[in-house]
């Protein structure tokens, strides 16, 4: 795919399998995500989308197969899992903010604690990030005072504070009231323009179509289709994707 032999994809997945007991959830997924690429991972419920994403930052340990992040094999025994998670940020369906910390402290906590960033710098960068997600004026409030959409935007800012190269989003709008979905998708859309590599599990087909460079369609733990959105949403190759889209659109 790439002529330069030294090229390292942002993410390379090679024959990834994951089972929970006898349940084979991922059954031999291989793909690459290029630097700055935005991929949407879609597919029926239970097809393994979350598990696939969670393997990319080792929240789930693959049963077999390899995952390389910027050329480094994170599935090797020697991997420093904390380092991987610093570089591969994740935003979840439920926001998991620290309830006893202010919005700004939620954002500055990890850079200070894990990266030894000074309080002053962490604060400056934290405020910048909160401005980017439209929440600078909420810096000193506690999460309980925020709407779901605001909480998710803080969670995004908090993840970005570690300056990851890759961001994973696991159904980031699924737990939100409908009127809050848009504000979170807008923040994510802005993020796609920054050149950060993104993998997004989503049921928001319109959003996937608009922002993704590629659609990865999972079915029964296999990568059933890998197409650009223009093709996937108008003329998908696999029958399961056709059936899925008929239900979704």
Ligand X SMILES: Nc1ncnc2c1ncn2[C@@H]1O[C@H](COP(=O)(O)OP(=O)(O)OP(=O)(O)O)[C@@H](O)[C@H]1O
Beta carbon of residue 218, minimum distance to ligand X (angstroms, whole number)? 6
Rank residues 41 and 129 by Cβ distance to ligand X and give the closer one: 41
Q: How far is CA 89 from CA 29, 53, 163, in A?
A: 21, 11, 8
- Does the protein bind ligand X through residue 148 (CB under 6 A)? no
**Are the beta carbons of 196 and 175 closer than 8 angstroms?**
no
User: Binding mask 43-82 vs ligand X (x if CB under 6 A, - otherwise)?
Assistant: x-xxxxxxx-------------------------------
Beta carbon of residue 115, minimum distance to ligand X (angstroms, whole number)? 30
- Does the protein bind ligand X through residue 173 (CB under 6 A)? no
For residue 59 the two structure tokens come to: 């929240």
User: How many H helices and E strands in the chain?
Assistant: 9, 10
- Counting Cα atoms < 13 Å in the Cβ hemisphere of 216 gives 27
Give the interface size with ligand X as a residue count (CB under 6 A): 11
E strand spans, the chain? 11-20, 23-33, 38-42, 64-69, 72-73, 88-91, 166-170, 197-201, 214-219, 222-227
Residues 4 to 23 in contact with ligand X, rule: CB under 6 A: 20, 23
Site stretch for ligand X (CB under 6 A), options 39-47, 67-75, 182-190, 192-200: 39-47
- Does the protein bind ligand X through residue 192 (CB under 6 A)? no
- List of residues contacting ligand X (CB under 6 A): 20, 23, 25, 43, 45-51
């Amino acid at each position: 795919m790439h002529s330069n032999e030294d090229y390292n994809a942002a993410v390379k997945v090679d024959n990834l399998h994951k089972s929970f007991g006898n349940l084979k959830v991922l059954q031999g997924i291989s793909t690459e995500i290029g630097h700055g690429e935005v991929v949407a991972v879609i597919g029926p419920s239970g097809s393994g989308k979350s598990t696939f994403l969670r393997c990319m930052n080792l929240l789930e340990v693959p049963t077999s197969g390899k995952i390389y992040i910027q050329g480094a094999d994170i599935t090797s025994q020697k991997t420093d899992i904390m380092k991987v998670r610093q570089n591969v940020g994740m935003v979840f369906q439920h926001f998991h903010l620290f309830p006893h910390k202010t919005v700004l402290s939620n954002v500055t906590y990890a850079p200070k604690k894990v990266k030894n960033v000074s309080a002053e710098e962490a604060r400056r960068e934290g405020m910048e990030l909160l401005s980017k997600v439209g929440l600078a004026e909420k810096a000193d409030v506690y999460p309980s005072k925020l709407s779901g959409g605001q909480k998710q935007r803080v969670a995004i800012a908090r993840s970005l504070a570690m300056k990851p190269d890759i961001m994973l989003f696991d159904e980031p709008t699924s737990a939100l009231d409908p009127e809050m979905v848009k504000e979170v998708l807008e923040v994510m859309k802005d993020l796609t323009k920054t050149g950060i590599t993104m993998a997004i599990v989503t049921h928001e087909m319109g959003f996937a179509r608009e922002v993704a460079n590629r659609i990865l369609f999972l079915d029964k733990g296999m990568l059933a289709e890998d197409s650009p959105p223009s093709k996937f949403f108008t003329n998908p190759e696999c029958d399961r994707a056709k059936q899925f889209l008929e239900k979704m659109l």
